[in-house]
Amino acid sequence: MRELRIKDRSAGLPPVSRVAVPAVSFAQHPGLVARLEKGYPGAKVNVEGDIYYRSEEETIAYLRGHDAAIVSFEKINDRVLSALPDLRVVSKLGVGLDQIDPLAMRKHGVRLGWTPGVNKRAVAELALCTAMAALRHVMECNLSMRNGERPLTRLGRQLSGRVVGVHGVGEIGQEFIRLLQPFGCRVLGCDNKDRSDFYVHHGVEQVDMEELAARSEVLSIHLGLNPTTRNLYDLGRLRSLRPDCVLINTARGGIIDERALHRALSEGWIAAAALDVFAEEPTSEDDLLRLPNLISTPHIGASSVEARWHMGVTAIDGLTDNFIPVPGRYPFEFF
């Protein structure tokens, strides 16, 4: 790739002072607003709470005239940065970078504040929670009883001793594996990076995607969304899973083909699935959501008080601790 001639909008300038936070989730923790305002008096914070993900036009309008921003799922691309010549720093609330274009950041000399792993415990706990709930038919039994039925019992499976596959063994995948340790599971790890030291220390068996699909009774996805992972779990891959498999995705929507998943769950190719993320959010796939063997949550993986505080504090720190992204290098290896 040809190296871009870049400019650094922050070079030789005083620290940023005009901060805007379009991310609704930042203000959900009141302590974060107070902490931000202490360091950046007059910061503009979205406390409306009724905007899910802003359009590019709304993001531009919200950030206009500011030299720094804390964003969550707002798109940061060439169009947005071209319209915001004052913007020098973008700090990420959370870890997902699929809405940030590193080529545009580098072209415009805008710096990125980003800290990996800040929400790993919260996301890993949700994955563990949904694994056990799906194995024991918790949601199906709950809905049945709420509908006035009184089932005598429903035979499920324990998590203890299961073969659990982890697709993506980065910060969150590793935390999920740590949480599995007391359950005596046989853990399979699949990752395109060398995780051998972690595997040896935690008793993880390294496998490829085909073996992961063929052997996992629970398969938890912890991948980033990029061109190599979009619709990775398509019809063919879903057909290759065990019929008793519980498939979990707390990573990013778009990794699983949702139409293919609907068919897999409806026709019994797999036992159950749990999704915290969807290709479009909020999702409109009501037919999928109504399936009795699907557990669905509205992207709450990082929505714990503890995780939100850690995410917010590191995002504030990112206003001063930042870098200019390089496409093709960590954390944008697959761009």
DSSP 195-258: -HHHHHHHTPEE--HHHHHHH-SEEEE----STTTTT-B-HHHHHTS-TT-EEEE-S-TTSB-H
**How many Å apart are CA 13 and CA 19, to the nearest integer?**
15
**How many Å apart are CA 177 and CA 288, to the nearest integer?**
28
- Say whether pTM exceeds 0.85: yes
Alpha carbon 220 to chain centroid distance? 13
Tell me the per-residue pLDDT of 290-304, one tens digit each, with 9 for 90 and over: 999 999 999 999 999
Q: Coil, helix or strand for 113?
A: strand
Q: What is the mean pLDDT of residues 196-222?
A: 98
pLDDT of residue 284 exceeding 50? yes
Q: How confident is the model at residue 9 (pLDDT cuts 50, 70, 90)?
A: confident
Alpha carbon 71 to chain centroid distance? 14
pLDDT of residue 51 exceeding 80? no
pLDDT of residue 1 exceeding 50? no
> How many CB atoms within 10 Å of residue 154?
11
Instruction: Establish whether the linkage from the previous residue to 243 is cis, with ω within 30° of 0.
Output: no
**How many Å apart are CA 161 and CA 184, to the nearest integer?**
5
Catalogue all structural domains in the chain, each as residue range(s) with its CATH number.
19-118+304-317 (3.40.50.720), 120-296 (3.40.50.720)
pLDDT of residue 11 exceeding 80? no
Would you state the pLDDT for residue 325? 96
pLDDT of residue 158 exceeding 60? yes
Q: How confident is the model at residue 2 (pLDDT cuts 50, 70, 90)?
A: very low
Contacts of 12 (CB under 8 A, 6+ apart): none
Q: What is the mean pLDDT of residues 68-87?
A: 97
Dmax (CA) for the chain in angstroms is 72
Would you state the pLDDT for residue 277? 98
Task: Give the angle 180-115-219 at the CA atoms, nearest 5°.
Answer: 30
Q: Give the active site residues.
A: 252, 281, 299
Tell me the chain's radius of gyration from C-alpha atoms.
21
Contacts of 329 (CB under 8 A, 6+ apart): none
